[in-house]
Chains A and B, each alone.
Chain A
Protein backbone atom coordinates (compact mmCIF):
# COMPACT_ATOMS: atom_id res chain seq x y z
CA UNK A 1 0.00 0.00 0.00
CA UNK A 2 1.51 3.34 -1.01
CA UNK A 3 1.30 6.43 1.17
CA UNK A 4 -1.37 7.85 -1.19
CA UNK A 5 -3.67 4.83 -1.03
CA UNK A 6 -3.56 4.79 2.77
CA UNK A 7 -5.63 7.98 2.65
CA UNK A 8 -8.96 8.87 1.17
CA UNK A 9 -9.83 12.43 0.11
CA UNK A 10 -13.21 13.96 0.96
CA UNK A 11 -14.18 16.88 -1.25
CA UNK A 12 -17.17 19.19 -1.42
CA UNK A 13 -17.63 21.96 -3.97
CA UNK A 14 -19.26 25.35 -3.65
CA UNK A 15 -19.96 26.70 -7.06
CA UNK A 16 -21.22 30.14 -8.06
CA UNK A 17 -22.90 30.42 -11.44
CA UNK A 18 -24.18 33.63 -13.00
CA UNK A 19 -27.67 33.23 -14.42
CA UNK A 20 -28.46 34.12 -18.01
CA UNK A 21 -31.07 36.87 -17.89
CA UNK A 22 -31.58 40.14 -19.71
CA UNK A 23 -31.52 42.23 -16.55
CA UNK A 24 -29.93 42.08 -13.11
CA UNK A 25 -31.47 40.31 -10.11
CA UNK A 26 -33.19 43.24 -8.45
CA UNK A 27 -33.06 46.07 -11.00
CA UNK A 28 -33.42 46.64 -14.74
CA UNK A 29 -29.71 47.21 -15.48
CA UNK A 30 -28.49 44.94 -18.29
CA UNK A 31 -26.92 41.65 -17.29
CA UNK A 32 -24.07 41.52 -19.81
CA UNK A 33 -20.44 40.59 -19.46
CA UNK A 34 -17.89 43.39 -19.73
CA UNK A 35 -18.64 46.80 -21.16
CA UNK A 36 -17.33 50.18 -20.12
CA UNK A 37 -16.86 50.29 -16.32
CA UNK A 38 -19.78 51.61 -14.26
CA UNK A 39 -22.16 52.02 -17.19
CA UNK A 40 -24.64 49.33 -16.09
CA UNK A 41 -25.59 50.82 -12.76
CA UNK A 42 -28.69 52.39 -11.23
CA UNK A 43 -29.91 53.55 -7.81
CA UNK A 44 -30.80 49.96 -6.80
CA UNK A 45 -27.51 48.23 -7.62
CA UNK A 46 -25.53 51.23 -6.33
CA UNK A 47 -27.57 51.16 -3.10
CA UNK A 48 -28.56 54.81 -3.27
CA UNK A 49 -30.79 55.73 -0.30
CA UNK A 50 -34.45 54.88 -0.79
CA UNK A 51 -33.97 52.58 -3.77
CA UNK A 52 -35.88 49.31 -3.46
CA UNK A 53 -35.08 45.91 -5.02
CA UNK A 54 -37.69 43.88 -6.94
CA UNK A 55 -36.89 40.24 -7.76
CA UNK A 56 -36.38 39.12 -11.37
CA UNK A 57 -39.07 36.53 -12.19
CA UNK A 58 -36.92 34.81 -14.84
CA UNK A 59 -34.05 34.26 -12.39
CA UNK A 60 -36.44 32.53 -10.00
CA UNK A 61 -37.70 30.29 -12.81
CA UNK A 62 -34.11 29.44 -13.79
CA UNK A 63 -33.41 28.42 -10.20
CA UNK A 64 -36.45 26.17 -9.97
CA UNK A 65 -35.61 24.54 -13.32
CA UNK A 66 -32.01 23.95 -12.19
CA UNK A 67 -33.32 22.35 -9.00
CA UNK A 68 -35.79 20.16 -10.90
CA UNK A 69 -33.06 19.01 -13.28
CA UNK A 70 -31.17 17.59 -10.29
CA UNK A 71 -34.22 16.12 -8.61
CA UNK A 72 -34.09 18.70 -5.80
CA UNK A 73 -37.16 19.51 -3.75
CA UNK A 74 -38.64 22.96 -4.29
CA UNK A 75 -39.98 24.26 -0.98
CA UNK A 76 -43.35 25.97 -1.16
CA UNK A 77 -41.95 28.93 0.76
CA UNK A 78 -38.64 30.72 0.28
CA UNK A 79 -37.19 34.10 1.23
CA UNK A 80 -34.27 36.46 0.78
CA UNK A 81 -31.87 37.40 3.57
CA UNK A 82 -29.16 39.97 4.02
CA UNK A 83 -25.63 38.70 4.41
CA UNK A 84 -23.78 41.49 6.13
CA UNK A 85 -20.14 42.28 5.55
CA UNK A 86 -18.04 45.28 4.70
CA UNK A 87 -16.31 45.01 1.40
CA UNK A 88 -16.19 47.81 -1.13
CA UNK A 89 -17.42 45.70 -4.05
CA UNK A 90 -20.78 45.44 -2.22
CA UNK A 91 -22.25 48.93 -2.33
CA UNK A 92 -25.00 48.11 0.20
CA UNK A 93 -22.49 46.62 2.66
CA UNK A 94 -24.62 43.52 2.53
CA UNK A 95 -25.37 40.98 -0.14
CA UNK A 96 -28.91 39.81 -0.79
CA UNK A 97 -28.78 36.04 -0.49
CA UNK A 98 -30.80 33.15 0.92
CA UNK A 99 -29.89 31.81 4.34
CA UNK A 100 -32.19 29.18 5.81
CA UNK A 101 -34.97 28.94 3.22
CA UNK A 102 -33.37 28.56 -0.21
CA UNK A 103 -35.32 27.97 -3.43
CA UNK A 104 -34.07 24.41 -3.83
CA UNK A 105 -33.03 21.74 -1.34
CA UNK A 106 -31.25 18.43 -1.87
CA UNK A 107 -31.12 16.59 -5.16
CA UNK A 108 -28.08 15.03 -6.74
CA UNK A 109 -25.80 15.51 -9.72
CA UNK A 110 -25.03 12.49 -11.87
CA UNK A 111 -21.69 12.80 -13.60
CA UNK A 112 -19.13 10.61 -15.32
CA UNK A 113 -15.39 10.17 -15.42
CA UNK A 114 -13.14 10.00 -18.48
CA UNK A 115 -13.33 6.21 -18.50
CA UNK A 116 -17.13 6.41 -18.63
CA UNK A 117 -17.81 5.42 -15.00
CA UNK A 118 -21.08 6.99 -13.87
CA UNK A 119 -21.09 8.61 -10.42
CA UNK A 120 -23.38 10.69 -8.30
CA UNK A 121 -22.84 13.59 -5.90
CA UNK A 122 -25.59 14.81 -3.62
CA UNK A 123 -26.47 18.48 -3.47
CA UNK A 124 -27.09 20.24 -0.19
CA UNK A 125 -28.91 23.16 -1.78
CA UNK A 126 -28.92 25.75 -4.51
CA UNK A 127 -29.71 29.28 -3.43
CA UNK A 128 -30.17 32.54 -5.24
CA UNK A 129 -28.13 35.66 -4.53
CA UNK A 130 -26.60 38.65 -6.27
CA UNK A 131 -23.08 38.98 -7.62
CA UNK A 132 -20.62 41.58 -6.35
CA UNK A 133 -18.87 44.31 -8.29
CA UNK A 134 -15.36 43.80 -9.63
CA UNK A 135 -12.34 45.26 -7.89
CA UNK A 136 -8.90 45.87 -9.28
CA UNK A 137 -6.41 45.58 -6.47
CA UNK A 138 -3.13 47.38 -6.00
CA UNK A 139 -0.14 45.22 -6.86
CA UNK A 140 -2.25 42.97 -9.03
CA UNK A 141 -0.75 40.60 -11.57
CA UNK A 142 -1.23 43.07 -14.40
CA UNK A 143 0.63 45.71 -12.39
CA UNK A 144 -1.92 48.31 -13.33
CA UNK A 145 -1.83 49.95 -9.95
CA UNK A 146 1.08 48.06 -8.42
CA UNK A 147 2.06 49.18 -4.94
CA UNK A 148 -0.74 51.69 -4.73
CA UNK A 149 -2.74 52.27 -1.58
CA UNK A 150 -6.17 52.05 -3.20
CA UNK A 151 -8.38 49.75 -5.23
CA UNK A 152 -10.67 50.51 -8.16
CA UNK A 153 -14.27 49.33 -8.40
CA UNK A 154 -16.55 48.59 -11.35
CA UNK A 155 -20.16 47.93 -10.32
CA UNK A 156 -21.38 46.57 -13.68
CA UNK A 157 -21.45 43.04 -12.22
CA UNK A 158 -22.97 44.10 -8.89
CA UNK A 159 -26.48 42.69 -8.66
CA UNK A 160 -26.16 40.12 -11.46
CA UNK A 161 -28.23 37.03 -10.47
CA UNK A 162 -26.01 34.32 -9.09
CA UNK A 163 -26.84 30.83 -7.95
CA UNK A 164 -24.72 29.08 -5.39
CA UNK A 165 -24.66 25.30 -5.65
CA UNK A 166 -23.41 23.58 -2.53
CA UNK A 167 -22.50 19.90 -2.81
CA UNK A 168 -22.28 17.34 -0.06
CA UNK A 169 -18.74 16.06 0.62
CA UNK A 170 -19.36 13.09 -1.71
CA UNK A 171 -16.39 13.52 -4.03
CA UNK A 172 -13.29 11.38 -3.48
CA UNK A 173 -10.73 12.64 -5.99
CA UNK A 174 -9.78 15.65 -8.07
CA UNK A 175 -11.08 13.78 -11.15
CA UNK A 176 -14.46 13.32 -9.50
CA UNK A 177 -14.56 17.02 -8.60
CA UNK A 178 -13.95 17.97 -12.24
CA UNK A 179 -16.49 15.39 -13.47
CA UNK A 180 -19.04 16.90 -11.10
CA UNK A 181 -18.31 20.46 -12.30
CA UNK A 182 -18.51 19.39 -15.94
CA UNK A 183 -21.92 17.85 -15.26
CA UNK A 184 -23.11 21.07 -13.60
CA UNK A 185 -21.83 23.05 -16.55
CA UNK A 186 -23.40 20.94 -19.29
CA UNK A 187 -26.69 20.78 -17.43
CA UNK A 188 -26.89 24.55 -16.93
CA UNK A 189 -25.93 25.21 -20.55
CA UNK A 190 -28.52 22.72 -21.80
CA UNK A 191 -31.21 24.21 -19.55
CA UNK A 192 -30.25 27.65 -20.85
CA UNK A 193 -30.00 29.03 -17.32
CA UNK A 194 -26.36 30.09 -17.72
CA UNK A 195 -23.65 30.37 -20.38
CA UNK A 196 -21.14 29.01 -17.88
CA UNK A 197 -18.07 30.72 -19.26
CA UNK A 198 -15.28 30.23 -16.76
CA UNK A 199 -13.06 32.62 -18.69
CA UNK A 200 -15.67 35.34 -18.12
CA UNK A 201 -16.08 34.34 -14.50
CA UNK A 202 -19.66 33.16 -14.89
CA UNK A 203 -18.73 29.93 -13.09
CA UNK A 204 -16.50 30.22 -10.04
CA UNK A 205 -15.85 27.51 -7.52
CA UNK A 206 -14.20 26.78 -4.20
CA UNK A 207 -13.34 23.30 -2.95
CA UNK A 208 -13.41 22.00 0.60
CA UNK A 209 -10.75 19.33 0.86
CA UNK A 210 -9.86 16.98 3.71
CA UNK A 211 -8.26 13.57 3.94
CA UNK A 212 -8.73 10.63 6.29
CA UNK A 213 -7.27 7.16 6.65
CA UNK A 214 -8.82 4.89 4.00
CA UNK A 215 -11.79 3.09 5.48
CA UNK A 216 -12.42 5.69 8.19
CA UNK A 217 -15.82 7.34 8.34
CA UNK A 218 -14.78 10.36 10.40
CA UNK A 219 -14.06 13.61 8.60
CA UNK A 220 -10.60 15.14 8.78
CA UNK A 221 -9.91 18.86 9.19
CA UNK A 222 -10.72 20.61 5.93
CA UNK A 223 -9.21 23.49 4.05
CA UNK A 224 -11.02 25.68 1.56
CA UNK A 225 -9.29 26.17 -1.80
CA UNK A 226 -9.90 29.37 -3.76
CA UNK A 227 -8.63 31.03 -6.96
CA UNK A 228 -9.21 28.11 -9.31
CA UNK A 229 -9.93 29.64 -12.69
CA UNK A 230 -10.39 26.63 -14.95
CA UNK A 231 -11.35 22.97 -14.65
CA UNK A 232 -7.70 22.18 -15.22
CA UNK A 233 -6.69 24.33 -12.26
CA UNK A 234 -9.40 22.67 -10.15
CA UNK A 235 -7.83 19.32 -10.98
CA UNK A 236 -4.29 20.45 -10.25
CA UNK A 237 -5.21 22.44 -7.12
CA UNK A 238 -7.10 19.59 -5.46
CA UNK A 239 -4.41 17.05 -6.37
CA UNK A 240 -1.74 19.34 -4.95
CA UNK A 241 -3.76 20.00 -1.78
CA UNK A 242 -4.33 16.28 -1.17
CA UNK A 243 -0.58 15.69 -1.56
CA UNK A 244 0.17 18.54 0.84
CA UNK A 245 -2.25 17.25 3.47
CA UNK A 246 -0.83 13.73 3.22
CA UNK A 247 2.67 15.13 3.69
CA UNK A 248 1.54 17.15 6.73
CA UNK A 249 -0.07 14.12 8.39
CA UNK A 250 2.84 11.82 7.48
CA UNK A 251 5.26 14.24 9.12
CA UNK A 252 3.25 13.97 12.33
CA UNK A 253 1.73 17.47 12.13
CA UNK A 254 -1.91 18.46 12.00
CA UNK A 255 -3.96 20.12 9.29
CA UNK A 256 -4.96 23.69 10.10
CA UNK A 257 -8.49 24.68 9.10
CA UNK A 258 -7.96 27.64 6.78
CA UNK A 259 -8.55 29.16 3.37
CA UNK A 260 -5.82 28.46 0.84
CA UNK A 261 -5.32 30.13 -2.53
CA UNK A 262 -4.24 28.16 -5.59
CA UNK A 263 -1.09 29.49 -7.24
CA UNK A 264 -1.32 28.45 -10.88
CA UNK A 265 2.28 29.36 -11.67
CA UNK A 266 3.88 27.53 -8.77
CA UNK A 267 1.36 24.68 -8.75
CA UNK A 268 0.77 24.83 -4.99
CA UNK A 269 -1.80 26.22 -2.56
CA UNK A 270 -0.81 29.02 -0.18
CA UNK A 271 -2.37 29.93 3.13
CA UNK A 272 -4.56 33.04 2.78
CA UNK A 273 -4.74 33.75 6.49
CA UNK A 274 -6.10 37.23 6.92
CA UNK A 275 -6.12 39.40 10.01
CA UNK A 276 -9.90 39.31 10.08
CA UNK A 277 -11.79 37.28 12.64
CA UNK A 278 -14.09 34.39 11.89
CA UNK A 279 -16.98 35.51 9.70
CA UNK A 280 -20.17 36.56 11.36
CA UNK A 281 -22.51 37.59 8.59
CA UNK A 282 -25.48 38.32 10.89
CA UNK A 283 -28.02 37.07 8.35
CA UNK A 284 -31.53 38.41 8.74
CA UNK A 285 -34.58 38.44 6.46
CA UNK A 286 -34.43 41.29 3.97
CA UNK A 287 -37.34 43.58 4.86
CA UNK A 288 -37.27 45.11 1.35
CA UNK A 289 -38.23 41.84 -0.34
CA UNK A 290 -41.34 39.75 0.19
CA UNK A 291 -41.20 35.95 0.38
CA UNK A 292 -41.53 33.67 -2.63
CA UNK A 293 -44.26 31.07 -2.71
CA UNK A 294 -43.92 28.36 -5.34
CA UNK A 295 -47.11 26.47 -6.12
CA UNK A 296 -47.51 23.04 -7.69
CA UNK A 297 -48.84 24.55 -10.92
CA UNK A 298 -45.60 26.48 -11.50
CA UNK A 299 -43.51 23.40 -10.73
CA UNK A 300 -45.57 21.34 -13.19
CA UNK A 301 -45.23 24.02 -15.85
CA UNK A 302 -41.45 24.22 -15.39
CA UNK A 303 -41.03 20.44 -15.26
CA UNK A 304 -42.34 20.33 -18.82
CA UNK A 305 -39.47 22.57 -19.93
CA UNK A 306 -36.74 20.21 -18.71
CA UNK A 307 -35.09 18.52 -21.72
CA UNK A 308 -33.40 15.10 -21.76
CA UNK A 309 -30.38 15.75 -19.58
CA UNK A 310 -26.73 14.88 -20.20
CA UNK A 311 -26.28 11.95 -17.75
CA UNK A 312 -29.34 10.18 -19.13
CA UNK A 313 -28.12 10.65 -22.68
CA UNK A 314 -24.60 9.60 -21.81
CA UNK A 315 -25.77 6.33 -20.25
CA UNK A 316 -28.03 5.58 -23.22
CA UNK A 317 -25.30 6.35 -25.79
CA UNK A 318 -22.87 4.10 -23.94
CA UNK A 319 -25.52 1.40 -24.21
CA UNK A 320 -25.49 1.89 -28.00
CA UNK A 321 -21.80 1.05 -27.95
CA UNK A 322 -20.26 4.51 -28.10
CA UNK A 323 -16.96 4.87 -26.25
CA UNK A 324 -16.91 7.46 -23.43
CA UNK A 325 -15.22 10.07 -25.61
CA UNK A 326 -17.71 9.70 -28.49
CA UNK A 327 -20.65 9.71 -26.10
CA UNK A 328 -19.35 12.83 -24.33
CA UNK A 329 -18.82 14.65 -27.63
CA UNK A 330 -22.31 13.87 -28.80
CA UNK A 331 -23.88 14.75 -25.42
CA UNK A 332 -22.11 18.11 -25.48
CA UNK A 333 -23.30 18.91 -29.00
CA UNK A 334 -26.96 19.40 -27.99
CA UNK A 335 -28.37 20.04 -31.49
CA UNK A 336 -26.57 16.99 -32.89
CA UNK A 337 -27.66 14.86 -29.92
CA UNK A 338 -31.26 16.02 -30.46
CA UNK A 339 -30.89 15.09 -34.13
CA UNK A 340 -29.49 11.67 -33.28
CA UNK A 341 -32.28 11.02 -30.78
CA UNK A 342 -34.81 12.02 -33.45
CA UNK A 343 -33.29 9.46 -35.86
CA UNK A 344 -33.62 6.77 -33.22
CA UNK A 345 -37.18 7.92 -32.50
CA UNK A 346 -37.90 7.63 -36.25
CA UNK A 347 -37.05 3.97 -35.96
CA UNK A 348 -33.41 3.94 -37.03
CA UNK A 349 -31.10 1.34 -35.57
CA UNK A 350 -29.03 3.30 -32.98
CA UNK A 351 -25.64 1.75 -33.79
CA UNK A 352 -26.06 2.23 -37.52
CA UNK A 353 -27.28 5.83 -37.26
CA UNK A 354 -24.55 6.61 -34.73
CA UNK A 355 -21.92 5.79 -37.38
CA UNK A 356 -23.59 8.04 -39.93
CA UNK A 357 -24.06 10.87 -37.42
CA UNK A 358 -20.58 10.75 -35.90
CA UNK A 359 -18.61 10.17 -39.08
CA UNK A 360 -20.23 10.87 -42.47
CA UNK A 361 -22.71 13.55 -41.41
CA UNK A 362 -20.25 15.27 -39.08
CA UNK A 363 -17.70 15.32 -41.91
CA UNK A 364 -20.25 16.83 -44.33
CA UNK A 365 -21.18 19.42 -41.70
CA UNK A 366 -17.51 20.36 -41.30
CA UNK A 367 -16.95 20.56 -45.04
CA UNK A 368 -20.02 22.64 -45.80
CA UNK A 369 -20.38 24.66 -42.59
CA UNK A 370 -24.04 23.62 -42.30
CA UNK A 371 -24.90 21.99 -38.97
CA UNK A 372 -26.30 18.47 -39.39
CA UNK A 373 -29.61 19.43 -37.78
CA UNK A 374 -30.06 22.25 -40.30
CA UNK A 375 -29.06 20.16 -43.31
CA UNK A 376 -31.40 18.69 -45.92
CA UNK A 377 -30.97 15.26 -44.33
CA UNK A 378 -33.93 15.01 -41.98
CA UNK A 379 -33.87 12.44 -39.15
CA UNK A 380 -36.64 10.57 -40.99
CA UNK A 381 -34.59 10.45 -44.20
CA UNK A 382 -31.56 9.17 -42.31
CA UNK A 383 -33.74 6.51 -40.67
CA UNK A 384 -34.83 5.51 -44.18
CA UNK A 385 -31.21 5.22 -45.33
CA UNK A 386 -30.28 3.18 -42.28
CA UNK A 387 -33.19 0.83 -43.05
CA UNK A 388 -31.97 0.43 -46.66
CA UNK A 389 -28.55 -0.63 -45.36
CA UNK A 390 -30.03 -2.90 -42.70
CA UNK A 391 -32.24 -4.70 -45.21
CA UNK A 392 -29.16 -5.04 -47.46
CA UNK A 393 -31.05 -3.17 -50.19
CA UNK A 394 -27.94 -1.03 -50.65
CA UNK A 395 -24.36 -1.73 -49.62
CA UNK A 396 -22.31 0.70 -47.57
CA UNK A 397 -20.60 2.24 -50.58
CA UNK A 398 -23.90 3.13 -52.24
CA UNK A 399 -25.18 4.33 -48.84
CA UNK A 400 -22.37 6.86 -48.61
CA UNK A 401 -23.15 8.10 -52.11
CA UNK A 402 -26.82 8.36 -51.23
CA UNK A 403 -26.00 10.35 -48.12
CA UNK A 404 -24.02 12.88 -50.16
CA UNK A 405 -26.96 13.24 -52.54
CA UNK A 406 -29.43 13.57 -49.67
CA UNK A 407 -27.19 16.28 -48.20
CA UNK A 408 -27.29 18.02 -51.58
CA UNK A 409 -31.08 18.09 -51.33
CA UNK A 410 -32.08 15.15 -53.55
CA UNK A 411 -34.61 13.95 -51.00
CA UNK A 412 -35.69 10.47 -50.02
CA UNK A 413 -33.00 7.78 -50.39
CA UNK A 414 -35.64 5.18 -51.09
CA UNK A 415 -36.93 7.20 -54.03
CA UNK A 416 -33.41 7.68 -55.43
CA UNK A 417 -32.73 3.94 -55.16
CA UNK A 418 -35.98 3.07 -56.92
CA UNK A 419 -35.62 5.63 -59.69
CA UNK A 420 -32.04 4.71 -60.52
CA UNK A 421 -32.10 1.00 -59.81
CA UNK A 422 -29.36 1.31 -57.23
CA UNK A 423 -30.63 -1.54 -55.11
CA UNK A 424 -28.02 -4.08 -54.28
CA UNK A 425 -28.26 -7.15 -56.41
CA UNK A 426 -28.00 -10.64 -55.00
CA UNK A 427 -29.04 -12.13 -58.32
CA UNK A 428 -26.57 -15.02 -58.65
CA UNK A 429 -26.95 -15.36 -62.41
CA UNK A 430 -26.31 -11.63 -62.99
CA UNK A 431 -23.27 -11.65 -60.70
CA UNK A 432 -21.86 -14.79 -62.31
CA UNK A 433 -22.18 -13.14 -65.71
CA UNK A 434 -20.16 -10.15 -64.45
CA UNK A 435 -17.57 -12.49 -62.92
CA UNK A 436 -17.12 -14.25 -66.24
CA UNK A 437 -16.58 -10.90 -67.96
CA UNK A 438 -14.04 -9.79 -65.38
CA UNK A 439 -12.14 -13.10 -65.45
CA UNK A 440 -12.02 -12.98 -69.24
CA UNK A 441 -10.54 -9.50 -69.12
CA UNK A 442 -8.06 -10.41 -66.36
CA UNK A 443 -6.70 -13.78 -67.39
CA UNK A 444 -3.33 -13.20 -65.75
CA UNK A 445 -4.92 -12.40 -62.39
CA UNK A 446 -6.96 -15.57 -62.55
CA UNK A 447 -3.85 -17.61 -63.33
CA UNK A 448 -1.92 -15.94 -60.50
CA UNK A 449 -4.72 -16.78 -58.08
CA UNK A 450 -4.68 -20.42 -59.07
CA UNK A 451 -0.87 -20.37 -58.66
CA UNK A 452 -1.32 -19.45 -55.00
CA UNK A 453 -1.48 -15.63 -55.07
CA UNK A 454 -4.79 -15.68 -53.19
CA UNK A 455 -4.58 -12.04 -52.17
CA UNK A 456 -5.46 -11.12 -55.74
CA UNK A 457 -9.04 -12.04 -54.85
CA UNK A 458 -9.54 -8.55 -53.43
CA UNK A 459 -8.61 -6.98 -56.74
CA UNK A 460 -10.96 -9.25 -58.67
CA UNK A 461 -13.82 -8.57 -56.25
CA UNK A 462 -13.23 -4.84 -56.76
CA UNK A 463 -13.42 -5.28 -60.55
CA UNK A 464 -16.72 -7.14 -60.29
CA UNK A 465 -18.14 -4.51 -57.94
CA UNK A 466 -17.09 -1.83 -60.41
CA UNK A 467 -18.72 -3.69 -63.27
CA UNK A 468 -21.94 -3.82 -61.23
CA UNK A 469 -21.71 -0.05 -60.62
CA UNK A 470 -21.40 -0.81 -56.91
CA UNK A 471 -24.71 -2.59 -56.70
CA UNK A 472 -23.54 -6.18 -56.29
CA UNK A 473 -23.61 -7.72 -52.87
CA UNK A 474 -19.86 -7.80 -52.04
CA UNK A 475 -20.06 -10.90 -49.85
CA UNK A 476 -21.84 -12.81 -52.59
CA UNK A 477 -19.32 -11.62 -55.21
CA UNK A 478 -16.51 -12.87 -53.03
CA UNK A 479 -18.12 -16.23 -52.50
CA UNK A 480 -18.97 -16.80 -56.16
CA UNK A 481 -15.51 -15.69 -57.34
CA UNK A 482 -13.85 -18.10 -54.99
CA UNK A 483 -16.02 -20.96 -56.30
CA UNK A 484 -15.30 -20.08 -59.89
CA UNK A 485 -11.54 -19.97 -59.37
CA UNK A 486 -11.28 -23.25 -57.53
Chain B
Protein backbone atom coordinates (compact mmCIF):
# COMPACT_ATOMS: atom_id res chain seq x y z
CA UNK B 1 0.00 0.00 0.00
CA UNK B 2 1.40 3.35 -1.04
CA UNK B 3 1.84 5.93 1.69
CA UNK B 4 -1.40 7.84 2.33
CA UNK B 5 -1.57 11.49 1.49
CA UNK B 6 -3.84 13.45 3.77
CA UNK B 7 -4.73 17.13 3.55
CA UNK B 8 -4.12 17.81 7.20
CA UNK B 9 -4.95 21.52 6.91
CA UNK B 10 -8.37 20.73 5.42
CA UNK B 11 -9.07 18.18 8.13
CA UNK B 12 -7.95 20.65 10.81
CA UNK B 13 -10.23 23.28 9.38
CA UNK B 14 -13.23 20.93 9.43
CA UNK B 15 -12.43 20.10 13.04
CA UNK B 16 -11.87 23.80 13.91
CA UNK B 17 -8.34 23.14 15.12
CA UNK B 18 -5.60 25.70 14.52
CA UNK B 19 -2.28 24.04 13.67
CA UNK B 20 1.21 25.53 13.56
CA UNK B 21 3.49 24.66 10.59
CA UNK B 22 5.27 22.23 12.83
CA UNK B 23 2.10 20.54 14.01
CA UNK B 24 0.68 20.31 10.51
CA UNK B 25 3.81 18.46 9.42
CA UNK B 26 3.87 16.15 12.43
CA UNK B 27 0.13 15.35 12.54
CA UNK B 28 0.03 14.98 8.77
CA UNK B 29 2.59 12.23 8.96
CA UNK B 30 0.90 10.57 11.95
CA UNK B 31 -2.53 10.59 10.32
CA UNK B 32 -1.01 9.24 7.11
CA UNK B 33 0.53 6.36 9.04
CA UNK B 34 -2.81 5.65 10.71
CA UNK B 35 -4.60 5.56 7.39
CA UNK B 36 -1.99 3.25 5.94
CA UNK B 37 -2.41 0.99 8.92
CA UNK B 38 -6.19 0.86 8.53
CA UNK B 39 -5.76 0.26 4.82
CA UNK B 40 -4.19 -3.10 5.60
CA UNK B 41 -7.81 -4.23 5.98
CA UNK B 42 -8.46 -3.64 2.30
CA UNK B 43 -6.12 -6.51 1.52
CA UNK B 44 -8.71 -8.90 2.94
CA UNK B 45 -11.19 -10.68 0.71
CA UNK B 46 -14.53 -9.10 1.72
CA UNK B 47 -16.76 -9.86 -1.25
CA UNK B 48 -18.71 -12.44 0.74
CA UNK B 49 -18.88 -10.43 3.96
CA UNK B 50 -22.04 -8.31 4.39
CA UNK B 51 -21.43 -4.62 5.00
CA UNK B 52 -21.99 -3.54 8.57
CA UNK B 53 -22.49 -0.20 10.19
CA UNK B 54 -22.74 -1.33 13.77
CA UNK B 55 -20.90 -4.00 15.73
CA UNK B 56 -23.68 -4.37 18.27
CA UNK B 57 -26.07 -7.06 17.12
CA UNK B 58 -29.26 -5.68 18.59
CA UNK B 59 -31.86 -4.05 16.36
CA UNK B 60 -34.85 -1.74 16.78
CA UNK B 61 -34.01 -0.37 20.19
CA UNK B 62 -36.86 2.08 20.56
CA UNK B 63 -38.73 3.96 23.24
CA UNK B 64 -42.47 4.49 23.32
CA UNK B 65 -43.52 8.02 22.57
CA UNK B 66 -44.06 9.37 26.09
CA UNK B 67 -43.00 12.78 27.32
CA UNK B 68 -41.10 12.88 30.60
CA UNK B 69 -39.55 15.46 32.89
CA UNK B 70 -36.94 17.90 31.58
CA UNK B 71 -34.04 19.61 33.30
CA UNK B 72 -34.52 22.75 35.36
CA UNK B 73 -33.61 25.76 33.26
CA UNK B 74 -31.51 27.44 35.91
CA UNK B 75 -29.47 24.25 36.33
CA UNK B 76 -28.97 24.07 32.58
CA UNK B 77 -28.05 27.70 32.04
CA UNK B 78 -25.73 27.77 35.05
CA UNK B 79 -23.55 25.23 33.21
CA UNK B 80 -23.25 27.43 30.11
CA UNK B 81 -20.12 29.49 29.50
CA UNK B 82 -22.35 32.46 28.68
CA UNK B 83 -26.04 33.19 29.04
CA UNK B 84 -28.39 36.07 28.34
CA UNK B 85 -31.66 35.90 30.27
CA UNK B 86 -33.24 32.55 29.49
CA UNK B 87 -31.05 31.93 26.43
CA UNK B 88 -27.65 30.48 25.79
CA UNK B 89 -25.35 33.15 24.45
CA UNK B 90 -22.89 32.22 21.70
CA UNK B 91 -20.53 34.11 19.39
CA UNK B 92 -22.39 35.73 16.50
CA UNK B 93 -23.34 33.19 13.86
CA UNK B 94 -22.19 34.02 10.35
CA UNK B 95 -23.40 32.23 7.25
CA UNK B 96 -25.33 29.04 6.92
CA UNK B 97 -24.45 25.63 8.33
Contact = CB atoms under 8 A, between A and B. Distances in A.
Contacts, number: 143
Interface string B52-88: 0110101111111111111101001100001011111
Contacts of B56: 290
Contact of B63 (A57, A90, A155, A259): A57
A259 B93 CA distance: 17
Contacts of A101: 53
Nearest to B65: A58
30 contacts: A22-B66, A28-B63, A28-B69, A29-B68, A30-B67, A36-B73, A37-B85, A38-B77, A54-B63, A57-B62, A58-B64, A59-B65, A60-B62, A79-B53, A87-B97, A90-B97, A148-B92, A149-B91, A149-B92, A150-B90, A153-B89, A154-B86, A274-B94, A274-B95, A274-B96, A276-B95, A285-B53, A290-B61, A291-B59, A293-B59
Interface stretch (A133-141, A171-179, A354-362, A471-479): A133-141
Interface of B: 13-14, 16, 53-54, 56, 58-71, 73, 76-77, 82, 84-97
Interface stretch (A41-49, A404-412, A461-469): A41-49
A37 B86 CA distance: 6
Residue among A37, A90, A150 with the highest chain B CB neighbour number at 10 A? A150
Given A23-B65, A39-B73, A58-B65, A290 B59 contact: yes
A55 B96 CA distance: 28
Nearest to B55: A287
A86 interface: yes
Given A29-B67, A46-B71, A79-B54, A152 B88 contact: yes
A307 interface: no
A274 B73 CA distance: 34
Contact of B92 (A31, A58, A137): A137
B55 to A, nearest CB: 8
> At the interface, is chain B mostly helix, strand, loop or mixed?
loop
Contacts of B67: 22-23, 28-31
A428 interface: no
Interface residues of A, number: 61
Contacts of B68: 23, 28-29
B33 to A, nearest CB: 20
A46 B78 CA distance: 13
Contacts of A427: none
A272 interface: yes
A426 interface: no
A123 B68 CA distance: 35
A55 B95 contact: no
A21 B67 CA distance: 9
B87 A37 contact: yes
Interface in A143-167: 148-155
B54 A290 contact: yes
A56 B62 contact: yes
B58 to A, nearest CB: 5
A54 to B, nearest CB: 5
